[in-house]
Structures are given as C-alpha cells and as structure tokens.
Amino acid sequence: MDEFKLPIKYTTKTNQFILSLIFLLMPFWAVILPFTIGLSLNQIFQVPIIFILFFLVLLFIFLALVFEDNKIIMTRHWLSFPLFLLPRLKFKREFAYQEILKADIVSDLPNKEQIILFFNNNLNITMDLKFFKNIQEIEQFLLTIEICAKNCERSSNLIEYQNKILITELMDNTLSYTKLWDEELNYRFCPTNFQPLTVGARLRNDQFIVLKQIAFGGFSAVYLVTNLNKQEVILKEMVIYNFLTPEQIIKVNELFKREASILAKLNHPKIAKILDFFVENERHYIVLEKIWGENLRLKIKETGCLDENLIIQIAHKLALILDYIHGLNPPVIHRDISPDNIILQNNQDVFLIDFGSANEIISSATRTMIGKKAFISPEQFKGKANKASDLYSLGSTLFYLATAQEPEALTQQELIKFKPNCSVFLNKLIKDLTNLDYNKRPLLSAVLSEIDSVINDLA
Amino acid sequence: MNDLTTENNLPSYKINYSSLKVVRKFLRHRFSLLNTYKAWYTILIIILFFYFGGFGFIQNALFDLSLNNEFFAKYSFANSTISLIQFISYLFCLTLPAILLVYYLFNQENELILKPDIVILRYFAGIKQLTCPRNLLTAVKFKRKNNLKDDGEILLEFSNKKTVKIQLQYFFDDQSKRFFLAYLQNTPQLNKIDSSLIELLSQPDNQSYTQLWLEALSNEVNISNITNNLSCGYSLYNNQYTILSQIAVGGYSIAYLAYDNITKKNCVLKEYVLSNSVHLEIQKKVLQDIEKEYKILKNLNNPKIVKVLAMFVENSRAYLVLENITGNSLRQLISDNKKFSQLEVIDLAKQMIEILSFLHNLNTPIIHNDFTPENLILDSANILHLIDFNISNYADTFTTSLIAGKPSYTSAEQVKGYLIAQNDIYAMGASLYFLLTHQDPEPLAQSSPKSINPLINKTFDEVIQKCTNQDLQFRYKNVLEIMDDLDKI
C-alpha cells in the first residue's frame, strides 16, 4: 500500500500568465543555456553581458519552477502549499494537520468565496474557491482537512457549504433542509455484499452509462443511467451469484427471467415500464422507465403528512392499479407497496415504480428476509405473500401518509390513536386493510367501491 | 521492497532503509510531483553553472583584481588569500562530484534485516554490518526529533552493550513500520518499548476510517474490484494473510479461512465490501457499523465467544480478523445428517444459556439478534461457540427500517425494532426446535417440536414453547429461568 498523497490543483490567473510568458520565451533562454556552457570557460566570463544573460536564464528557470508549482499536496500527516503562496505564509510551506486550528469560508461578494485556514503562530491563508480546478477537488480538499485535522475547528458556514456540495451531487432536487440529510443517506445506502457500479461505468457494450447511484443495500442497487438514445432510465441491479451453488444459480436465473418477463408484459400508464432485462457479469439487471417526480417518502419528509382528501385520492388511484395487476392472469402481486415506490406528480397523478418480486426471489434463495419492516404483512414475512398482502402494505402506506410516521411493524394500525381528528372512514379503512389475518381483510373490489362513494360525496 | 522470505520455515523481514530515499522524497516534495525531472534538470544546470562558470568567474575576477589592483599588489598577504580562495574553489569543484558519488553509492544498499534470532543492520553498500542477537535485546527507546512530524531516532539497546540506531523516517512506508513493530512485539524478553514509538509504528484501530477515506479520496480504488470473491492463495495486508478458502457467505459479508503468516495460525477473515460510492459519507456509515462490531467483540472476553484479533481496510473492503474455531455450525451438522439425542440437545441448550446469560448480564447488555444454528459452532470437544455479531447491538438502540434476517428465528418484536433479551430467547427456542426436528420453525408462531415428534419430553417441549411464545408476557424474561426449567427434566 502506497502512502496517501493527494495533489490538489490551485493556481491563480497571474501565475498562469507568467508561466505562459516564460514558456513563450523558452526558445530564447533554452537556447542560450547549452550555448553558453558549450563555449570555453574563462573567456565567457570576461564578457559580462553573457554572464548577465546566464543569470537571466537561471532567473527564468527559477521563476518557472515557482509558478509551475500549482499543487496543494496533502498527505496523511501534513499538507503543503504551492510555492507562490509562501510569502503569505511567512515562507513556511509544510503544515502538520495539528497546526490547523480553524477553517472557515467567507463570501464577501457573491461568487467570490474564500476558504480561510488559521494555523498556530498566527499564520493564516486565504484561498479563492475559483482558483481550484473544480468542485470535486474543493470537496476533496475540505474532506481531507475534515478527516485528518482533528484539532481544526470547522465553522458552521464551512460545514454547511460542504453539505451543500454533497446534496447537489447526490440528490435529484435540492433539499432545502440539511438536517434530514444524514437520515436520507442512511436510508438509501446500506452495506452491500458486492461492489456497486461506479459513476461512469458502462454496461452492455456501452449501451448504458451510469450517471448516479441512487440507492444500494444488501443484494441490490439502483442507478440512474443513460441509454443509447441519451434518455435517462433507471437500472436495478441484483447480485446473488456468490451465495449459491451452481444448481441454485441456474434455478434463480430462471426465476428472475420469468419474473422479469411477466413484469415486462405489464402495460399500465401508471406503472413504470420495464424496458429491458439482462444478465451481465453474473449480475441481474432490469431497466425501468424513469418517472419524474418525488417519491412520497421524500415528499412527506419535506412537507409533513398529507391532507386527508389527497390521501383518499391517492388510495383510490393505487387501488385501481392494484386492481389491474391482481386482475391479470396469473395475478401479479406487487409485494412492495410503500411510500418510496409511489411517485406523486402535480399533486394528482400517482405512479408505482419498482416491484418487490426480486426481493422475493433473493429472500427465498438465501433464506433471509429482506423488506421494509413497517409495510410488510405477516404472511409475506413468513414467505407466503398473496393478493391481500398488497392490501396490508397499502394500509400501512396510507397510515404513513396520514401521520408522517412509519407504522409499527406487523401490527394492525389505528389511525385515530395518532390523529384524533381523522375521519371515521379513513380510520376504518386503514384498520381493515392492516388486519393481521389476511382472510379478514376486505376485498379490493369492496375497497374500491367504498372509496368511490366517499369521493363522490366529497365532490 | 519488503521480503517475506522464509529460511528454515521461519520468517525474516528485510526492510529497505536508505537515507537517499529521504533526499529524493524531500526533492520530490519541494518541487511539485510532476516536476521531479525538472528539479533534477535544474539542479544539474546549477551545478554545472557553479562548476564551470561561477567559480571560474570568481577566480578570474579575483585574479584580475590581484593583477590590476594596486591595493592588492601592495600587500602580498592579500595575494596569498586570493590564491587560497582559488585553490579552495578548485578543490570544491573537483571534489563535489566525488563526494556526491560516494554518498550515492554508500547509501544504496542499506538494509535492516530482522531474522528470528538476529538483527542485522547493513550499511555502506553492505560492506559494514552490525549484527546483534535478538535474545539480547533489552529495550527500545525513541527520541523524537520534531514535535509535529513523525520523525526521530529509534534506539535498540542490547545487553551486550551494543546499540543499533535507526532513523524512523528511513522506513518510508507503513508496511515496514508494521513489520518492525510486529517483530519487536514478538520478542519475548523485550518488555520496554517506548509507547510513543508503538503509536507511531502501528496503525491504531481508529485509523481504519481515515485510511478508507483517504484511499477513496485519492481514487486508488481498482475498477477491477467489480468481481468479488478472493481466490485461494490471495494475499492481504502486505502478505500477512493468505486466503485458504471461502467458508461462508452472510447478509453483508463473506467469511474466508486464512492463514496468518506472522502468528502462523489459521484465522477467519470476515470481509465487508465498502462500496466505492460517490460519497464518503456513505462509506463512513458502513465502516461505522463494522467498527461497532469490532468494538463489541473486542470487549468480550469469553471462551465461548469468538475473539476478534484485528481489523483492517484494504482495497475498499473492511476485514475483521477472527479466531478460527475448528468445528461445524449446527446447521451444517444437521444437514450432514447428524442426529442429536434429546440429552445432547439439552446439554447444548445449557451451553446456549451460558453464552446468552454472559451477554445479557454485561454492564452494557448486548443483544445478539442472530442467535441461529448458522452462528453456533460445535467444536471437537463438544463446546459451543458463538460467532457473527453483525447485527447485534447494545440494548436500547432502535434499529433501521430495513429488515434482513432469518424469518424463522426473528421474533415479532425484533421486526418491530425492539432490542430486548427476549429476541435472543426466541431465537434460542427456534434453534432448539431446529435441532430436534431438523426443520426451520414456522415464523411468527409458537413452536412445539412435540407436534412433529411425539417422542420429545413433555417438559422440554413446554420450555421450547415458552421460549417461542408470541406474547412477551408469557415468554421467558431471562435465560436463567430457562436453566431452572431445564434442570427439572
């Protein structure tokens, strides 16, 4: 393992100008040099003018070296600044991380942000953000200071700035709050058993290029990718080859192919379409249409629980979608109705993305259960999902929409205990849907007609 | 670099140890990384200047002065001074290259050889050698040079009055430092090692974070790490561990049987993938979880619980080094058709109770949360060992929204996120059912082995039923109650 060394480019316009000047004049001074050496010794130096030129050449070399140095070098124990910054640092070039006392960011004018580092001995240095190469390097610089400089007090402005960079890079939309940021990260990214694809990775002969990692955990990962037509689509990846015996792998491959082809045949305007599915490098991929908009979990985190009318509308639309998939021959059970899999567009259109069938296959193959505990029905937990399981998940989801809290797992939910002024209808609906005994849950058709009549009453 | 050669089956470490490397490092740093060649070029020019031009000029000027200046002509001592200066400058110019050459040559082959029985320091191109037997090493002292940098002189004192001096900065990478420290620590009679030196040479536990982040920052990640499993014979951590085989695959980790080349024993490496994601925050969280497992295990001291030996990070993967327990997991034994008699199962149950009571009665109680047949190993002396503390937690911390576990062994409360001792009791009951019936129990249901096998003792069946009671009120509250009931069988 080599020692850690991170070079970060930092150079001003002046430097670059002087450097280019020197390089332009290079034919001049580069030629004199060998020439003067080649001439015989004592005689040269009796003609002072050549001697002066010689010195001039050395001066140029010196200047070139100084201005060429455009890197801040960070190692595990110290960081060092480029030569041209030395005068400001009283000619101290290297600083151990312990010497950094405070780091701050100021912006006198918009677009003129500066990072200030304070060292002991009253030294400090101000660095303009625009002199860094790009935002990733600024991030690396700040991050290295955060990791290695334990004594450094980072101002809140700096922390906020760092978070801002993180957020804009990872999220689709800019979150206006940063305290939920940690939670969001923890939710979306969990330990995996495999190395997810990195940004820029290419699949299927460059047909897909990974733009962003959206989420990963356990055996699967979700990415935003572009396809050949430069459209953005979602790629779901599942990796289980390293858990199973070769016979099991063949069986699981078959199961995946079957599931994927069943799902690909689904044709509903409100369900994200499966565009393709394939296997590459022993990993299974499903290509899904990208549905724009925020999923309900994120939306509720931002704005709190939804208005009851809206909840009933959403319930209605979801029930219609469920009606479609349950009505197919053979019926398709969604298995993963939860707020993250529901997208609300324009406060009215409801879309379902992502099915839980992959999880099901993985679960049965590895004998572990994977799922969102708050929304999974008891029978699905036991491995015996049926149509009514989707209803349980629907009920739990509605509970979440109404209270902005995840319901307790494997429990029948009574909305009224959390929201005393909710409507009798909604309370009953959720309670019936989340009955632990699947035989006692209402039929989808009954649910649909009930909701229909309530909507008509409201209208 | 470093060699792990074995002579007579004993390892000896050769550490390259050279002051010239320091000079090169210094130069490479003073001028930015890409400029090393330019730096050498410039130095060459400057040397040439002084060699050919500068002194020549000075000499000439002085010569002219001495010739043309009346002042100098008057005083003969001035003349001789000038001649002296001339002489010195000639000497300097001529001998400078010679000096550099000698310096270069004599710094080439410096080596510090650490053999099992002797310490050898070779310098002056191998001509000079300082040899001291290892068993005479009495103390290791450290003199720090500069408060801020990791620099100083290490003194190895031997009882034959010899002292070997080593400059710390000549160990130019962490690998050599670790070898050296391991060598010192494995020297039995040596008990005085300067603690600040140990700190500098070793990689403290909390450095794995830093390491990982720094690795990710410098983008050293290998894209070819897409495919995972380590193959037999692969070496890790600078040849300290050699992979022998893959033993198991779990929810988030893969376990390998490996051979430790330093302690010469088998061990188990639990490998966690640290996804080389866009964001280090994400890796931080995963690493935090692994470090938590490490810390939990490190603080447990019980012969029936697997011991953790070390933790390190390499190539975006975190490894926990665990002791190897020779034996098979209960699940493995059952699938190999081993049949346990009821008495044997009761004995195993008592061992399980012993383990769980140890965990639950610690100052900060630990709930294992994964007390399943896969994680219980029976060794050749029929002692049960518990491994895998991956999802265990200190009691009272609420867990995340995703569940991943074996449904037959997960109580409803555990699914809901509660961390209570009764989670483990439920899992224990389910495991006992598994041992008796060779089947996984029905999830979220009370299990009664007697309904499958009427030969099971009634009291024993009731114990298992009480362990897996879905109602917390009626389930055992702590493991010792179970022990009492088992004694009645």
Number of separate domains in chain B: 4
Residue B448 has pLDDT above 70, yes or no: yes
Judge whether B14 lies within some domain: no
Cβ within 8 Å of B, A 78-97? 78, 80, 82, 93, 96
Contacts of A195 in chain B (CB under 8 A): 225-226, 228, 273, 275-276, 316
- Which candidate, B57, B184, B400, places its Cα nearest to that of A41? B57
- SS3 assignment, position A352: strand
Residue B211 has pLDDT above 70, yes or no: no
* Listed residues A289, A308, A325: the one ending a domain: A289
Nearest CB to B31; choose among A69, A76, A196: A69
Contacts of B38 in chain A (CB under 8 A): 65, 68
Judge whether B274 lies within some domain: yes
d(CA A164, CA A211): 19
Confidence of residue B224 (pLDDT cuts 50, 70, 90): very low
Nearest CB to A281; choose among B174, B226, B403: B226
E strand or H helix at B331, and its extent?
helix B330-335
Whether residues B69 and B97 share a domain: the answer is yes
pLDDT of B79 reads 62
Token pair of B438 as six digits: 């060779």
d(CA B352, CA B349): 5
Whether residues A353 and A421 share a domain: the answer is yes
Among A16-25, A401-410, B196-205, B295-304, which is the least confidently predicted range? B196-205
- Judge if the upstream peptide bond of residue A330 is cis by omega within 30 degrees of 0: yes
Token pair of B118 as six digits: 């002797």
Question: CA nearest B316 in A: which residue?
Answer: A195
HSE value, Cβ hemisphere, 13 Å, CA-based, for A200 = 4
Contact between residue A237 and residue A283 where contact means Cβ atoms under 8 Å apart: yes
Contacts of A98 in chain B (CB under 8 A): 148
To the nearest whole percent, how much of chain B has pLDDT over 70? Answer: 63
Dihedral over Cα of B83, B85, B89, B91: its sign? positive
d(CA A163, CA A157): 10
Nearest CB to B57; choose among A51, A96, A218: A51
Number of separate domains in chain A: 3
- Which candidate, B448, B458, B465, B456, places its Cα nearest to that of B488? B458
Judge whether B6 lies within some domain: no
Whether residues A14 and A162 share a domain: the answer is yes
Token pair of A240 as six digits: 């289980």
* Domain boundaries, position A99: 5-167
Confidence of residue B377 (pLDDT cuts 50, 70, 90): very high
- SS3 assignment, position B448: coil
Higher pLDDT, B437 or A190: B437
* Listed residues B88, B106, B124: the one ending a domain: B106
CATH code of the domain covering residue B428: 1.10.510.10
Judge whether B216 lies within some domain: yes
Q: Which residues contact B230 (CB under 8 A, 6 or more apart)?
A: B236, B243, B246, B256, B271
Q: Which residues contact B169 (CB under 8 A, 6 or more apart)?
A: B22, B150, B151
Q: Mutation test of the interface with chain B: which of A195, A377, A410, choosing the one with the most B Cβ atoms within 10 A? A: A195
Nearest CB to B175; choose among A1, A70, A93: A1
Nearest-CA distance A42 → chain B (Å): 6
Judge whether B10 lies within some domain: no
Whether residues A194 and A155 share a domain: the answer is no
Which residues of chain A fall below pLDDT 50?
A: 1-2, 38, 40-41, 174-177
Q: If phi over 0 gives left and psi between -120 and 50 gives alpha, with beta otherwise, what is residue B453?
A: beta
CATH code of the domain covering residue B211: 3.30.200.20
Whether residues A384 and A411 share a domain: the answer is yes
Cβ within 8 Å of B, A 41-70? 41-42, 44-46, 51, 54, 58, 61, 65, 68-70
Whether residue B57 and residue A45 make contact (CB cut-off 8 A), yes or no, is yes
- Amino acid B383 reads I
Residue B50 has pLDDT above 70, yes or no: no
Write the CA distances from B76 to A357, B60, B70, B82, integer angstroms.
105, 18, 11, 10
Whether residue B38 and residue A191 make contact (CB cut-off 8 A), yes or no, is no
Whether residues B307 and B337 share a domain: the answer is no
Whether residue A2 and residue B254 make contact (CB cut-off 8 A), yes or no, is no
Token pair of A87 as six digits: 């005068």
Judge whether B404 lies within some domain: yes
- Which candidate, A332, A331, A354, places its Cα nearest to that of A342? A354
According to DSSP, the residues that pair with A73 across neighbouring strands are: A7, A80
Whether residues B189 and B237 share a domain: the answer is no
| Dihedrals phi, psi of B390, to nearest 5 degrees | -60, -45
Write the CA distances from B338 to A168, B247, B432, integer angstroms.
57, 20, 14
- Amino acid B450 reads K
Name the residue with tokens 């708050």.
Answer: A374
What average pLDDT does the segment B239-254 reach?
Answer: 80
Contacts of A196 in chain B (CB under 8 A): 275-277
Whether residues B481 and B411 share a domain: the answer is yes
Cβ within 8 Å of B, A 227-246? 242-243
pLDDT of B385 reads 93
Number of C-beta neighbours around residue B232 at 10 A: 12
Write the CA distances from B8 to A98, B44, B284, integer angstroms.
46, 48, 44
* Domain boundaries, position B183: 112-201
Token pair of A225 as six digits: 């990718």
Whether residues B151 and B221 share a domain: the answer is no
d(CA B203, CA B289): 19
Confidence of residue B465 (pLDDT cuts 50, 70, 90): very high
Whether residues B378 and B269 share a domain: the answer is no
Reported as a single tens digit per residue, the pLDDT across B1-15 is 334 443 333 445 566
pLDDT of A434 reads 93
Whether residue B444 and residue A409 make contact (CB cut-off 8 A), yes or no, is no
Whether residue A98 and residue B35 make contact (CB cut-off 8 A), yes or no, is no
Q: Mutation test of the interface with chain A: which of B199, B203, B217, B285, choosing the one with the most A Cβ atoms within 10 A? A: B217
Question: CA nearest B210 in A: which residue?
Answer: A147
| Dihedrals phi, psi of A251, to nearest 5 degrees | -60, -45
Nearest CB to A367; choose among B49, B279, B406: B406
- Which candidate, B339, B10, B43, B371, places its Cα nearest to that of B186? B10
Q: How far out from the chain centre does Cα B357 lie?
A: 31
Q: If phi over 0 gives left and psi between -120 and 50 gives alpha, with beta otherwise, what is residue A442?
A: beta
Reported as a single tens digit per residue, the pLDDT across B60-93 is 666 666 666 665 556 556 666 666 666 666 676 6
Residue B28 has pLDDT above 80, yes or no: no
Whether residue A99 and residue B272 make contact (CB cut-off 8 A), yes or no, is no
Whether residue B444 and residue A281 make contact (CB cut-off 8 A), yes or no, is no
Whether residue A3 and residue B149 make contact (CB cut-off 8 A), yes or no, is no
Contacts of A185 in chain B (CB under 8 A): 279, 281-282, 285
Token pair of B289 as six digits: 């979880």
Higher pLDDT, B149 or A119: A119
Contact between residue A336 and residue A380 where contact means Cβ atoms under 8 Å apart: no
Token pair of A440 as six digits: 């006692």
Whether residues A332 and A255 share a domain: the answer is no
Whether residues B234 and B163 share a domain: the answer is no
Contacts of B405 in chain A (CB under 8 A): 368-369
E-strand spans in B56-202? 111-114, 118-123, 128-133, 137-144, 152-158, 163-167, 192-193
Q: Mutation test of the interface with chain B: which of A43, A95, A193, A219, choosing the one with the most B Cβ atoms within 10 A? A: A193
What average pLDDT does the segment B236-250 reach?
Answer: 81
* Listed residues B278, B295, B323: the one ending a domain: B323
| Dihedrals phi, psi of B41, to nearest 5 degrees | -60, -45
According to DSSP, the residues that pair with B122 across neighbouring strands are: B111, B129
d(CA B148, CA A98): 8
Nearest-CA distance A190 → chain B (Å): 7
Which of B92-101, B274-283, B433-442 is the most confident on average?
B433-442
Q: Mutation test of the interface with chain B: which of A1, A186, A389, choosing the one with the most B Cβ atoms within 10 A? A: A1
Whether residue B46 and residue A58 make contact (CB cut-off 8 A), yes or no, is yes
Nearest CB to B149; choose among A77, A195, A213: A77
Cβ within 8 Å of B, A 287-346? none
pLDDT of B356 reads 93
d(CA B289, CA B295): 10
- Which candidate, B277, B384, B41, places its Cα nearest to that of A197? B277
pTM (global) more than 0.95 = no
* Listed residues A252, A267, A289: the one ending a domain: A289
Higher pLDDT, B345 or A357: B345
Contact between residue A212 and residue A199 where contact means Cβ atoms under 8 Å apart: yes
Contact between residue B106 and residue B99 where contact means Cβ atoms under 8 Å apart: no
Q: Which residues contact A107 (CB under 8 A, 6 or more apart)?
A: A113, A114
Per 3-state DSSP, what percentage of chain A is helix, strand, and coil (rounded to 5)? 45, 20, 30
pLDDT of B97 reads 75
CATH code of the domain covering residue B195: 2.30.29
pLDDT of B466 reads 92
E strand or H helix at B352, and its extent?
helix B342-360
Contact between residue B171 and residue B177 where contact means Cβ atoms under 8 Å apart: yes
Number of C-beta neighbours around residue A160 at 10 A: 11
Which of B56-65, B172-181, B260-269 is the most confident on average?
B260-269
Provide the Cα torsion A15, A19, A21, A25; round to 10°.
160
Among A250-254, B135-139, B177-181, B485-489, which is the least confidently predicted range? B177-181
Q: Annotate A90-147 with DSSP letters as a single string.
A: TT--EEEGGGEEEEEEEEEETTEEEEEEEESTT-EEEEEGGGBS-HHHHHHHHHHHHH
CA-only gyration radius of chain A, Å: 31
- SS3 assignment, position A10: strand
d(CA B275, CA A239): 14
pLDDT of B363 reads 86
CATH code of the domain covering residue A388: 1.10.510.10
Number of C-beta neighbours around residue B38 at 10 A: 15
Nearest-CA distance B250 → chain A (Å): 8
| Dihedrals phi, psi of A43, to nearest 5 degrees | -65, -35
Whether residues A268 and A302 share a domain: the answer is no
Whether residue B275 and residue A42 make contact (CB cut-off 8 A), yes or no, is no
Higher pLDDT, B379 or B240: B379
Nearest CB to A42; choose among B56, B173, B253: B56
Q: Which residues contact A267 (CB under 8 A, 6 or more apart)?
A: A273
What number of C-beta contacts closer than 8 Å exist between A and B?
215
pLDDT of B116 reads 77
* Listed residues A271, A289, A307: the one ending a domain: A289
- Which candidate, A324, A389, A323, places its Cα nearest to that of A359? A389
* Strands A283-289, A232-238: pairing kind: antiparallel
Reported ipTM: 0.73
Token pair of A333 as six digits: 């059970």
Q: What is the mean pLDDT of chain B?
A: 76
* Listed residues B304, B323, B342: the one ending a domain: B323
pLDDT of A440 reads 92
Judge whether B7 lies within some domain: no
- Find the DSSP H helices in B376-478: 412-416, 421-437, 458-467
Judge whether B437 lies within some domain: yes
Q: Mutation test of the interface with chain B: which of A32, A45, A150, choosing the one with the most B Cβ atoms within 10 A? A: A45
